[in-house]
């Protein structure tokens, strides 16, 4: 469920007409719903009621500080994957003891930043990384809390580019080697083992891969405890999918996911951490764009928009589907026709949809890309010297620009011309 609905024939974000935002900030732009963000966070939080737990929002999905602050004030922790994300979370007011640091290639500088500013734990990806964390911690005279990310070799049955739990993926250590790695961790004086980490991928639409992975984690927990390790925290990652096409069968609900966690791991008495990102932010955001031209081609027609692949790269990168709807609701029974919906960038890949049925549209009409709140603005670029587009947050009948569109002068003036030129 989201809070983007037609009212009196016009698409609204909560109580704000989308057209009013477009008039104020121009197109294209992203708009997020506070009510949807909070609803989705509370779905996960409530699903784990009765257990010691922390829902850490995976901020790589959408990392604007206004979004982070909204979720942090509701009780969320943060899952970060870079030093920049760590500093962004801190700037949004998230305390270090609610920040989990994941990521495959943490640098010594990033580790030092987190240890200095406070960190809940590092989810360690490799033995060389473990050695660096230990060295930095000893240099600072502190103890670094860690979990080790294990790779359970479970097929998440998701897109190959977002699967992370198979043996050929770059993430974690093979689960069969975990006892050896944990023994090494226990020997390092700058580290304190607090638990186990696992994450098998993103946009999962079936609970069975989770069940297989978590069952392996349960066995490993008992094995490591028998070897003397204090395993009291299980970080289960994120990955629960969302329905990008409204006609698709809905993925499992957070309450079903929570019940499965309790079934597979509840007997261990561990604190549970989960790191949802897409399901919290995905359906909480739209990208709104304007039709520039309607073009007739050889055997097909094109809707050319002012939004492009640099603004929303998911269709070009993942062949991802987004529902695209007119901001003015079509009249009942209006005849639709197929269009290729494209942007203005000089790349064939700048195509959002092929032969998508749409009602008749004209230059100047607005369209909205649904489920664009996750991996939209955060993956945008200034390719073709196109400015990053504004982000807007709606709360009831209010809206605020939470990231401005830069001017061309601001973009161009970042360049520095060498003296010899």
Cβ neighbourhood burial of 290 (10 Å; 0-12, 13-18, 19+): middle
**Is 109 annotated in some ligand binding site?**
no
**Is 237 annotated in some ligand binding site?**
no
Q: What phi and psi, each to the nearest 5 degrees, are found at residue 317?
A: -85, -40
- The answer to whether the beta carbons of residues 109 and 84 sit under 8 Å apart is no
Which of 346, 348, 413, 416 is an active site residue?
A: 346
**Is 278 annotated in some ligand binding site?**
yes
Say how far apart CA 301 and CA 340 lie, in whole Å: 6
Q: 3-state SS string over the chain? A: CCCEEEECCEEEECCEEHHHHHHHHCCCEEEEEHHHHHHHHHHHHHHCCCCCEEEEEECCCCCCHHHHHHHHHCCCEEEECCHHHHHHHHHCCCCHHHEEECCCCCCHHHHHHHHHHCCCEEEECCHHHHHHHHHHHHHHCCCEEEEEEEECCCCCCCCHHHECCCCCCCCCEEHHHHHHHHHHHHHCCCEEEEEEECCCECCECCCHHHHHHHHHHHHHHHHHHHCCCCCCEEECCCCECCCCCCCCCCCCCHHHHHHHHHHHHHHHCCEEEECCCHHHHHHHEEEEEEEEEEEECCCCEEEEECCCCCCCCHHHHHCCCCCEEECECCCCCCCCEEEEEECCCCCCCCEEEEEEEECCCCCCCEEEECCCCCCCHHHCCCHHHCCCCCEEEEECCEEEEEECCCCHHHHHCCCCCCCCC
**Is 239 annotated in some ligand binding site?**
yes
The residues with which 369 forms a beta bridge, in sequence order, are 287, 324
In degrees, to the nearest 5, what angle opens at C-alpha 75 toward C-alphas 74 and 77?
125
Say how far apart CA 353 and CA 314 lie, in whole Å: 11
Q: Token digits for 221? A: 């927990």
Query: Is 56 among the catalytic positions?
Result: no
**Is 275 annotated in some ligand binding site?**
yes
**Is 383 annotated in some ligand binding site?**
no
- The answer to whether the beta carbons of residues 384 and 345 sit under 8 Å apart is yes
Q: Which residues are catalytic?
A: 346
Binding-site annotation, residues for substrate? 278, 314, 318, 347, 375
Binding-site annotation, residues? 239, 275-278, 314, 318, 347, 375
Binding-site annotation, residues for pyridoxal 5'-phosphate? 239, 275-278, 375
């Amino acid at each position: 469920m989201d809070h983007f609905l037609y009212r009196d024939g016009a698409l609204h974000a909560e109580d704000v007409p989308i057209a009013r935002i477009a008039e104020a900030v121009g197109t294209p732009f992203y708009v997020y719903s506070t009510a949807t963000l909070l609803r989705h966070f509370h779905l996960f939080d409530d699903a784990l009621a009765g257990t010691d737990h922390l829902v850490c929002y995976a901020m790589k999905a959408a990392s604007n500080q206004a979004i982070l602050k909204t979720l942090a004030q509701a009780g969320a922790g943060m899952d970060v994957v870079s030093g920049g994300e760590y500093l962004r979370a801190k700037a949004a007011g998230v305390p270090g003891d609610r920040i989990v640091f994941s990521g495959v290639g943490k640098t010594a500088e990033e580790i030092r930043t987190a240890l200095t500013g406070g960190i809940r734990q590092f989810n360690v990806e490799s033995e060389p990384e473990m050695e660096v964390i230990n060295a930095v911690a000893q240099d600072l005279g502190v103890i670094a809390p860690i979990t080790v990310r294990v790779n359970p070799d479970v097929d998440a049955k998701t897109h190959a580019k977002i699967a992370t739990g198979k043996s050929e993926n770059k993430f974690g250590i093979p689960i069969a080697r975990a006892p050896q790695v944990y023994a090494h961790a226990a020997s390092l004086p700058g580290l304190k083992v607090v638990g186990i980490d696992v994450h098998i991928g993103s946009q999962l639409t079936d609970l069975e891969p989770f069940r297989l992975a978590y069952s392996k984690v349960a066995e490993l927990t008992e094995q490591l405890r028998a070897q003397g390790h204090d395993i009291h925290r299980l970080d289960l990652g994120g990955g629960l999918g969302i329905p990008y096409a409204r006609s698709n069968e809905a993925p499992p609900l957070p309450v079903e996911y929570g019940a499965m966690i309790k079934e597979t791991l509840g007997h261990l008495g561990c604190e549970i951490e989960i790191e949802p990102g897409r399901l919290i932010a995905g359906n909480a955001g739209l990208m709104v764009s304007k039709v520039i031209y309607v073009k007739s081609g050889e055997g097909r027609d094109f809707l050319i928009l002012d939004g492009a692949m640099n603004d929303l790269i998911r269709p070009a990168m993942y062949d991802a589907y987004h529902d695209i709807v007119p901001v003015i609701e079509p009249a009942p029974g209006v005849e639709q026709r197929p269009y290729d919906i494209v942007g203005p960038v000089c790349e064939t890949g700048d195509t959002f949809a092929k032969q998508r049925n749409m009602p008749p549209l004209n230059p100047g009409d607005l369209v909205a890309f649904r489920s664009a709140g996750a991996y939209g603005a955060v993956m945008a670029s200034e390719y073709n010297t196109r400015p990053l587009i504004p982000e807007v947050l709606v709360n009831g009948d209010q809206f605020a620009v939470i990231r401005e569109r830069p001017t061309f002068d601001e973009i161009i003036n970042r360049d520095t011309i060498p003296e010899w030129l």
